[in-house]
Amino acid sequence: MPQFRITHYVIAVFIFGVFGKALTAVIQTQQTVLAAVGEDAEFSCQLLKSKDVLQVTWQKISPDVETNVATYSKQFGQRVNDGFTDKVEFKYTGLQNCSIVIRNVTEQDEGCYHCLFNTYPEGSFTGTPCLHVFELHEPVVDVRESNSTEEWVVSCSATGRPAPTVTLSVSQQHLSFSQYNTVSVSNTNATFTVTTTAVLSGSRKHSTQVGCAARVLSAPHREVMVTIPDDDDDGLNEKSGSNQRNLGMKHLQSTKLKISSKSGDLRETSQTTIQGFHLHLLKDLLFNSVDLFFGAGFAARCLAFLDDTHVKTDS
């Protein structure tokens, strides 16, 4: 999985009263760290104004308690507490600047953390970076020929947490999308599958590229580009727009609907096409949800087993 990590830095100013005098220390840390599930997240805190620091302590903030994660001091060196030894490690240690890395982040790692610079005699100066964990899978694009010679039904599905935003685009200026419809399905593993469907209208004398971009929060988007061939070509090529991975081939499937000879609105015919197409999408979403919970290919194996059992019963 590609690295998806966005960090927003903030300089926090903390004022402490000691013996009637106001002391000011500036800590530079991340306000928000975004990390994809399975990737690493790095926290760093820097005490910009030199202080006599005895120990740096990292804590995870929970609603009821603040749990010590790791500490560093010149006397005892690096120490990662029990329960975090396989998850957290120091990247840089210093009494003025310290950073840790959380390996293979999961939902349980989400939340805010404290970095405390314990000084004498002033006390502790604290920074609070927060980790937001997201999940985003590669979008899946499906293109189907409409009953109209100048219309395609384009659908794009993306699964993530939180619910991703799905956006369709087309390279040719004379082509346009209309009749948008978006459906969001909640999966059993706390992810959401969002499917956006629209009708692409315009002349098909030349091949064109349709794009689908999926995004969660302010993390980098994932995009897939599909080439729709002209009328003389019956193939459909699909490629990733970011990492150039080959996602395979999808061939056009014509709906072959009858067109009324009466003068009617194409919008009504296209809507019928979309309704039929949604039945296909619901089947795909069901398969995706089963596969996400039990593992890739589980739904297909179940169907193969049922078909084999049915054949044996009939024979």
pLDDT tens digits, one per residue of 167-215: 999 988 888 999 999 999 999 999 999 999 999 998 767 788 999 999 9
Residues 277-292 pLDDT 10s: 444 545 555 555 555 5
Average pLDDT, the chain: 76
pTM given for the model: 0.64
Helices assigned H by DSSP within 214-259: none
pLDDT band at 146 (very low <50, low <70, confident <90, very high): confident
Beta-carbon contacts of residue 15 (< 8 Å; ≥ 6 apart)? 22, 23, 24
Question: Residue 76 pLDDT > 90, yes or no?
Answer: yes
SS3 call for 228: strand
* H or E, element range at 299: helix 298-314
Structure tokens at 68: 């010590």
Asked if residue 162 has a cis previous peptide bond (ω within 30° of 0), the answer is yes
Q: What does the pLDDT look like over 262-272, one tens digit per residue?
A: 233 333 334 44
Distance CA 125, CA 119 (A): 8
Output the CA angle 141-145-147, nearest 5 degrees.
145
Please report the domains of the chain, with CATH numbers, ordered by start residue. Answer: 5-134 (2.60.40.10), 137-257 (2.60.40.10)
In tens, the pLDDT along 214-233 reads 999 999 999 999 998 876 65
User: What DSSP string describes 21-67?
Assistant: EEEEEEEEEEEEEEEETTS-EEEEEEE-S---EEEEEEEEE-SS-EE
